[in-house]
């Protein structure tokens, strides 16, 4: 451990002596002093929180990602070129100790930058939130929310029935496997039809609540959005019922709401006794004119559990970002073990860009659609695109778990980041992908001959 | 009964080293099946012109390169074995030091990497800084130092762990004459302490002063090796040694030789200098082989620089009054 710490301190010193760290410090100062002045938001606290965190924290993390990638590549590749690593390798130090020492040094330096800049931004945010001017503004107090999704009902039998029906109608080939893209389409269609409310009909969503949700200090909120069958901008009368079990009387809320807008309803505490699901039923009373409502599956309705430990939530967010930086350090170090500085940088930047393209890759991988015609028809992969689609799917299987940890967006949207999220981030970024890059880096370090003449 | 030979600290057996390019094609055959052994307590010199394979041999011994064929053992272990490195000290040809660290920080860093305790590290750092005469500059960054000063720190880091085997690559390069003398005294002192030392150098006088065994490399092959004394001695010429001969006896011998040969004879045991041995070894190796991969042993002057020797075209310079 002493040797790892010695190498970590050496890496830290080396980075501090390079100009990139000086430039990084200057750029972070610029971001922290200019962004909060220019990004005002929509005048509300949530708007201010979203714009300040998404842009400023996003810029800080982007700068740190480039900086850690650069310094990590140099930490091995440059030292190998300058022959300093040769002398280190003549001492009783294992390749693992060298890799870990450098990695820890890089993480320590960039975490110091991240947490310092993050703390400054937090205080800027605290000092610049608009003051509540009316009792209703209390609804916008600075809190963060744990997003709870409804339980997904099994639609297996309905799906089988629908697919069989499509085969009989000749909409699908009578034999042979059905492409996953088509199955996904029919699944969505069924789930959409289930949550489509004709006038005077209702639909119920079931929520499994964690034990800490719906406490007096942290009441629930309902967030929902729907589409309507009519384009007229008339409000739609709705009745919401919240019932935890048959023994407890339901809490009923009447509301008129416009379509295509996000609505939030504060709920009284104590709706849920702590066990069993909470049923949320929506009844459509839009009879004049008769309007059908569509609740998009997975996106249209959530329960929000309110929490007020904002500082801790923000800290957890920074821990997730730290794991992300640790992953970039692992990529850069391994690239430095494999290649010379420019090639290593090129490789690391490619990984950074690939991660930023994750959403497009996911869309193509999941839909199997490369092209949409002028008529809106989705054109699947042809003979040429099939291998490209396979590459997209392989890339997506790697990127998807990483992409789902969009912590800056979560912090901006005042979403709760749990310790489980932090654990997941560290498991994914550090233990899994960091571990894979560590193994690759060690293999490269063992294979590489550091005493080779320069001109070879 | 003769003393038993000390154990071998280094065994190099039929080692080849081929450097390959990015595509794995052989580019340079740096070593061509070299064999040698270095026993404990010896000072072993590796000599050879540029590109002969000295540094490659050194780096193979340090585990910084892997042999393409053959085997190496140092201190009865594979050079790649991390454990054995705590018993080795290495002073590289160039001072591969971190320019932003001071001598004090440099030595402490390597002490930590060698696994020395905090107390041991501090004490040895103090003593070594004293020895190399850099106590006054201990806080200055190494990057600001002259080559000679940097070489001294490089030497100090090689000795931090009091190693059993010390590998020195061009150790006196960049040192002033006094530093060279001190350095050679240090090597002899360490050898007397039973340390095994391998050094490679172009400075033949330095090698002659300290080495008891040498190997001369040329084009990746050993073209001469053995004990320094044996190699330098002209074995075909016999030298008569008489302890404290009287002038009368010397006269008598001179007269006898003059009578029989008609010449004034010097009664002596001649010995070749190391330079003679080195150059003859290189010339014979050059005659046996085709083009070497490294630099030519005799520099050929470029045609545009060629001209008759100064003595043939100009009169000898006048003596100063």
Chain B neighbors of A13, CB-CB under 8 A: 98, 100-101
Looking at residue B166, which CATH number applies to its domain?
3.40.50.300
Among A356-360, B66-70, B147-151, name the one with the lowest average pLDDT. A356-360
Q: B26 pLDDT exceeds 60?
A: yes
Residue A141 located in a structural domain:
no
Report yes or no on A224 lying in a domain: yes
CA distances A84 to A5, A87, A90, A112, Å, are 18, 6, 10, 26
| pLDDT value at residue A41 | 67
3-state secondary structure B152-216: HHHHHHHHCCCCCEEEEECCCCCCCHHHHHHHHHHHHHHHHCCCEEEEECCCHHHHHHHCCEEEE
* Cβ-proximal residues to A394 (8 Å cutoff; 6+ apart), any chain: none
B86 touches chain A (CB under 8 A): yes
Higher pLDDT, B318 or A65: A65
Whether the ω angle into residue A289 lies within 30 degrees of 0, i.e. cis, is: yes
Instruction: Say whether residue B112 is in contact with chain A using an 8 A CB cutoff.
Output: yes
- Residue B98 is nearest to which of A14, A91, A456, comparing CB atoms? A14
CA distance A146 to A235: 28
**A206 shares its domain with A328:** no
Choosing from A277, A306, A335, the residue where a domain stops is A306
Taking the Cβ of residue A13 and every Cβ of chain B, the question of whether any pair is shorter than 8 Å is answered with: yes
Residue A200 sits at the vertex; the CA angle it makes with A198 and A201, to the nearest 5 degrees, is 60
Same domain, A159 and A294: yes
What domain range includes position B50? Answer: 8-234+271-305
ipTM over 0.85: no
Cβ–Cβ contact A1 with B under 8 A: no
Q: How confident is the model at residue A153 (pLDDT cuts 50, 70, 90)?
A: confident
Please indicate, yes or no, if residue B245 is contained in any of the structural domains: no
User: Model pTM?
Assistant: 0.76
Q: Are residue A29 and residue A118 in the same domain, yes or no? A: yes
* Interface contact A455, partner B, CB < 8 A: no
Domain contains B315: no
Provide the domain limits for residue A263.
148-306
Contacts (Cβ under 8 Å, ≥6 apart) of B159 = B89, B128, B166
CATH number at A246 reads 2.60.120
Alpha-carbon distances, residue A343 vs A337, A443, B19, B66 (angstroms): 11, 18, 21, 25
Query: How many CB atoms lie under 10 A from the CB of residue A200?
Result: 11
Q: Is A86 on the interface with B (CB under 8 A)?
A: yes
Structural domain includes residue A370: yes
Phi-psi region of A442 (alpha: psi -120 to 50; beta: other; left: phi over 0): alpha
Is B94 in Cβ contact with A83 (below 8 Å)?
A: yes
Do residues A157 and A8 share a domain? no
Q: Residue A90 is nearest to which of B65, B85, B101, comparing CB atoms? A: B85
The answer as to whether A143 is a domain residue is no
A434 and A344, same structural domain? yes
Mean pLDDT (chain A, rounded): 82
Same domain, A109 and A212: no
| Chain A interface disruption, residue of B64, B100, B220, most A CBs within 10 A | B64
Map residue A77 onto helix, strand or coil: helix
pLDDT band per the 50, 70, 90 thresholds, residue A183: confident
Among the three residues A261, A291, A306, which one is the final residue of a domain in this structure?
A306
For residues A31-53, give the mean pLDDT.
78
- A329 and A214, same structural domain? no
Report if residue B171 sits inside a domain: yes
Does residue B183 fall inside a structural domain? yes
Report yes or no on B261 lying in a domain. no
Q: Does B82 touch chain A (CB under 8 A)?
A: yes
Q: Is residue A456 a part of any domain in this protein? A: no
Contact B90 A452 (CB under 8 A): no
Question: Band of the pLDDT at B241, cuts 50, 70, 90?
Answer: low
Which among A14, A88, A451 has CB closest to B65?
A451
Q: How far apart are the first and last CA of chain B?
A: 65
A87 touches B: beta carbon within 8 Å: yes
Average pLDDT over residues B187-192: 82
Structural domain contains residue B197: yes
Per the structure, the count of domains in chain B is 1
Report residue B301's pLDDT band, with 50, 70 and 90 as the boundaries.
very low
Q: Who wins on pLDDT, B262 or B81?
A: B81
pLDDT value of position B303: 31
Domain boundary at A245, A273, A306, which? Answer: A306
A81 in contact with B, Cβ within 8 Å: no
Indicate whether B239 belongs to any domain.
no
Residue A199 lies in a domain: yes
Domain count, chain A: 2
Smallest Cα distance from B280 to chain A, Å = 28
Nearest to A453 among B19, B85, B101 (CB): B19
Q: Please check whether residues A272 and A204 belong to one and the same domain.
A: yes
Report CB contact under 8 Å: A3, B113.
Answer: yes
User: Who wins on pLDDT, B1 or A54?
Assistant: A54
Q: Helix B103-113 vs helix B147-159: angle between axes, to the nearest 10 degrees?
A: 30
Residues A298 and A385 occupy one common structural domain: no
């Amino acid at each position: 451990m002493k040797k790892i710490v010695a190498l970590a301190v050496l890496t830290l010193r080396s980075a501090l002596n390079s100009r990139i760290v000086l430039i990084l410090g200057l750029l972070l100062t610029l971001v922290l002093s200019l962004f909060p002045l220019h990004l005002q938001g929509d005048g509300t606290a949530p708007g201010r929180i979203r714009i300040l965190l998404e842009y400023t924290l996003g810029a800080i993390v982007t700068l740190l990602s480039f900086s850690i990638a650069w310094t990590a590549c140099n930490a091995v590749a440059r030292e190998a070129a300058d022959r300093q690593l040769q002398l280190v390798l003549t001492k009783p130090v294992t390749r693992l100790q060298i890799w870990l020492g450098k990695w820890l040094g890089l993480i320590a330096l960039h975490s110091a930058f991240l947490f310092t800049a993050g703390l400054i931004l937090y205080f800027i945010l605290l000092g610049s939130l608009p003051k509540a001017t009316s009792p209703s503004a209390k609804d916008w107090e600075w809190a963060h929310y744990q997003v709870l999704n409804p339980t997904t009902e099994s639609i297996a039998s309905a799906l089988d029935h629908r697919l069989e029906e499509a085969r009989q109608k000749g909409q699908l080939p009578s034999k042979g496997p059905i492409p996953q893209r088509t199955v996904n389409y029919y699944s969505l269609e069924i789930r959409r039809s289930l949550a489509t409310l004709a006038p005077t009909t209702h639909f119920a969503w079931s929520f499994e609540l964690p034990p800490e949700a719906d406490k007096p200090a942290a009441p629930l909120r309902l967030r929902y959005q729907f589409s309507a069958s009519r384009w007229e901008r008339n409000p739609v009368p709705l009745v919401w019922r919240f019932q935890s079990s048959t023994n407890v009387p339901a809490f009923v809320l009447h509301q008129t709401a416009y379509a295509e807008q996000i609505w939030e309803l504060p709920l009284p505490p104590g709706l849920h006794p702590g066990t069993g699901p909470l049923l949320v039923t929506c009844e459509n009373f839009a009879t004049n004119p008769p309007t059908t409502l569509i609740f998009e599956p997975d996106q249209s309705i959530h329960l929000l559990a309110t929490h007020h430990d904002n500082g801790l939530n923000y800290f957890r967010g920074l821990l997730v970002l730290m794991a992300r930086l640790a992953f970039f350090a692992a990529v850069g170090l391994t690239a430095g073990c494999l290649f010379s500085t420019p090639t290593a940088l090129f490789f690391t930047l490619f990984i950074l860009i690939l991660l930023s393209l994750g959403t497009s890759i996911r869309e193509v991988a999941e839909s199997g659609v490369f092209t949409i015609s002028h008529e809106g028809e989705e054109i699947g992969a042809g003979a040429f695109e099939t291998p490209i689609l396979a590459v997209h799917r392989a890339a997506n299987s790697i990127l998807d778990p990483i992409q789902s940890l969009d912590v800056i967006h979560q912090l901006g949207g005042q979403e709760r980041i749990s310790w489980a999220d932090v654990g997941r981030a560290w498991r994914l970024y550090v233990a899994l992908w960091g571990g894979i890059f560590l193994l690759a880096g060690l293999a490269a370090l063992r294979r590489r001959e550091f005493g080779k003449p320069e001109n070879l | 009964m003769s003393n038993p030979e000390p154990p071998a600290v280094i065994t190099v057996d039929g080692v080849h080293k081929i450097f390959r390019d990015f595509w794995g094609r052989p580019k340079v055959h740096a070593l061509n099946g070299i064999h040698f052994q270095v026993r404990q307590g010896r000072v072993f010199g590796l000599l050879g012109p540029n590109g002969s394979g000295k540094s490659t041999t050194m780096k193979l011994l340090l585990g910084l390169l892997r042999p393409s064929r053959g085997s190496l053992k140092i201190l009865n272990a594979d050079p790649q074995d991390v454990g054995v490195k705590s018993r080795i000290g290495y002073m590289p040809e160039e001072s591969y030091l971190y320019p932003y660290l001071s001598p004090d920080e440099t030595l402490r860093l390597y002490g930590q990497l060698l696994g020395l305790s905090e107390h041991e590290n501090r004490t040895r750092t103090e003593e070594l800084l004293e020895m190399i005469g850099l106590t006054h500059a201990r806080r200055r960054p190494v990057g600001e130092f002259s080559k000679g000063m940097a070489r001294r720190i490089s030497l100090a880091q090689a000795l931090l762990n009091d190693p059993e085997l010390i590998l020195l690559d061009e150790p006196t390069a960049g040192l002033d004459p006094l530093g060279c003398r001190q350095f050679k005294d240090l090597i002899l002192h360490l050898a007397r302490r039973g340390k095994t030392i391998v050094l490679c150098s172009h400075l033949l006088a330095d090698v002659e002063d300290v080495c008891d065994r040498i190997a001369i490399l040329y084009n990746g092959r050993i073209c001469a090796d053995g004990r320094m004394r044996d190699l330098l001695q002209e074995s075909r010429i016999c030298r008569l040694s008489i302890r404290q001969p009287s002038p009368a006896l010397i006269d008598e011998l001179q007269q006898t030789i003059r009578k029989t040969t008609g010449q004034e004879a010097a009664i002596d045991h001649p010995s070749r200098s190391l330079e003679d041995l080195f150059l003859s070894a290189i010339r014979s190796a050059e005659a046996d082989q085709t083009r070497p991969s490294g630099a030519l042993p005799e520099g050929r002057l470029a045609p545009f620089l060629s001209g008759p020797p100064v003595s043939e075209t100009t009169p000898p310079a006048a003596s100063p009054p």
